[in-house]
Amino acid sequence: MACLGSVRLCARVEKLCQIGQNAQVRRKASSVRLKQLVDQPLTRSAVKSCQAAAAGSSRLLSSVRSQQPGSLPEYRIDPYQLVDDDLKNVHLDVQEELRRHTGHDELYTIAQYYFDGQGKCLRPMLCLLLSHALNFHIHKKDVPLSDKQKRVAMIAEMVHSASLIHDDVIDCSDFRRGKPSVNVLWNHKKVAMSGDFILAVASILIARINNDDVTICLGQVLTDLVQGEFMQLGSKETENERFTHYLTKTYRKTASLIANYLKAESMLAGADEGLTELAFQYGRNVGLAFQLVDDLLDFVASSSALGKPAAADLKLGLATAPVLFACEKYPELNAMIMRRFQEPGDVEHAFELVHKSQGLEQTQFLARKHCIEAQRLAERIAESPYQKGLLVVTDLVLNRMK
């Protein structure tokens, strides 16, 4: 525990949060954060206790008792429940759209494979929740979502799935969401084309929203996704460069989609510039936290909970936050990072060192920082059940098991 308080780490993390191009890094004394950390039980045991508490529940993660000191009294609010009316049909709506755009059965079959209702649906849920919250904020009462707002939520899931399909081919993955990956089942060329097809349909739907700024905003997401993927191919020499590289990559691969889709939702809600920026930053912080936790879970969760093999990142040669943090204590990891864990025993060794180091706790700490920032932003939105939902989501993101 004590080593967490190391000045060096604090300075580092402080710096890291600035890398996230956030102009409004909070000035709260770092002692506050440290205190929270001390109050916070070790992440691994926290995750274990959460696993025990939530055994069997998949989507209703909000039922998990929040681990945060002074956690919100509203923790029983279930963000998924709040938007259930619009969310429950997202998959069917996507399938319907895909079907409408092709007469080729095989293309349709591959394209709709991941729209099976088994995903977390985090992105559309956030879109719907934020739209409701902003409608309330702007109109001072509960205003039903417009069709366009609902469309954007659906498109977010489509673009996300299209990127999953291409990722599967790129990473040659075997399993996703507890079933064989697309690339295992079908011709790779056809799988790549199906991903393009989903993107094309998504672009058509975006164009039909008929809002120039929304189209521009959502177009940026694709560029970020590809650039993030390119960044993943390379690695940097020095520790500092590596962390910056990792964070930028994380923004582009995960946070950009959430941030920009929420920004688009805010534009459709009629938000002014300040509110649009707030939506973007909220999404960016939740997205970064989400990915950090994802990278952490790769080390602690069982493969059955994840629906994909554990330590998958290491096997792919990727050094994520836990490893980068662990480097501080075990410099021998540097060599392994540079050779992308390719030598026999590297993956196991790195896995062990990460667990022996404080890497997991430090990753959790960084994720928490982003969640707190997201909460701070959400608190500036007018109070409503949806706004509370936005606050609760950050807890879900932090304490999720899969």
1 binds other proteins (CB under 8 A): no
Tell me how far apart the alpha carbons of residues 10 and 253 are, in angstroms, rounded to a whole number: 26
DSSP state letter for 201: H
207 versus 382: smaller Cβ distance to other proteins: 207
- Angle at which helices 273-300 and 321-329 pack, to 10 degrees? 70
154 binds other proteins (CB under 8 A): no
**What sign does the dihedral 17-20-22-23 (CA atoms) show?**
positive
* 381, 390 contact by CB (below 8 A): yes
Rg (CA), the chain: 21
- Which of 172, 185, 335, 382 forms a contact with other proteins (CB under 8 A)? 172
Distances (CA, A) of 299 to 43, 62, 69, 215, 216: 12, 22, 25, 37, 37
Shortest distance in whole angstroms from residue 191 CB to other proteins: 9
* Token pair listed for 356: 């022996």
104 versus 139: smaller Cβ distance to other proteins: 104
21 versus 223: smaller Cβ distance to other proteins: 223
200 binds other proteins (CB under 8 A): yes
Shortest distance in whole angstroms from residue 150 CB to other proteins: 18
CB atoms within 10 A of CB 140: 10
- Which of 3, 204, 335, 382 forms a contact with other proteins (CB under 8 A)? 204
Shortest distance in whole angstroms from residue 311 CB to other proteins: 19
Shortest distance in whole angstroms from residue 179 CB to other proteins: 19
312 binds other proteins (CB under 8 A): no
Identify the three-state secondary structure at position 136.
helix
Stretch that binds other proteins, among 57-65, 82-90, 196-204, 363-371 (CB under 8 A): 196-204
- Give, for 316, the enclosing helix (H) or strand (E): none
215 binds other proteins (CB under 8 A): yes
Identify the three-state secondary structure at position 153.
helix
Shortest distance in whole angstroms from residue 102 CB to other proteins: 6
Question: Which amino acid makes up residue 344?
Answer: P
Shortest distance in whole angstroms from residue 344 CB to other proteins: 15
- Which of 44, 101, 315, 340 forms a contact with other proteins (CB under 8 A)? 101
189 binds other proteins (CB under 8 A): yes
CB atoms within 10 A of CB 221: 23
CB atoms within 10 A of CB 164: 19
Shortest distance in whole angstroms from residue 28 CB to other proteins: 37
Footprint of other proteins on 106-135 (CB under 8 A): 106-107
* Token pair listed for 240: 């500092």
Stretch that binds other proteins, among 13-21, 69-77, 130-138, 188-196 (CB under 8 A): 188-196
DSSP state letter for 78: -
Shortest distance in whole angstroms from residue 113 CB to other proteins: 15
230 binds other proteins (CB under 8 A): yes
Distances (CA, A) of 307 to 288, 303, 402: 21, 6, 8
Site string for other proteins, 231-250 (x = CB under 8 A): --xx----------------
- Which of 222, 278, 289, 300 forms a contact with other proteins (CB under 8 A)? 222
28 binds other proteins (CB under 8 A): no
- Which of 223, 238, 240, 302 forms a contact with other proteins (CB under 8 A)? 223
Name, in order, each residue with C-beta under 8 angstroms of 162's C-beta and a sequence gap of 6 or more: 195, 196, 198, 199, 202
Tell me how far apart the alpha carbons of residues 381 and 135 are, in angstroms, rounded to a whole number: 10
CA 376, 379, 380: angle at the middle one, nearest 5?
A: 100
Please give the residue ranges that form the binding site for other proteins (CB under 8 A). Answer: 101-102, 104, 106-107, 166, 169-170, 172, 187-190, 192-194, 196-197, 199-201, 203-204, 206-212, 215-216, 218-220, 222-223, 225-227, 229-230, 233-234
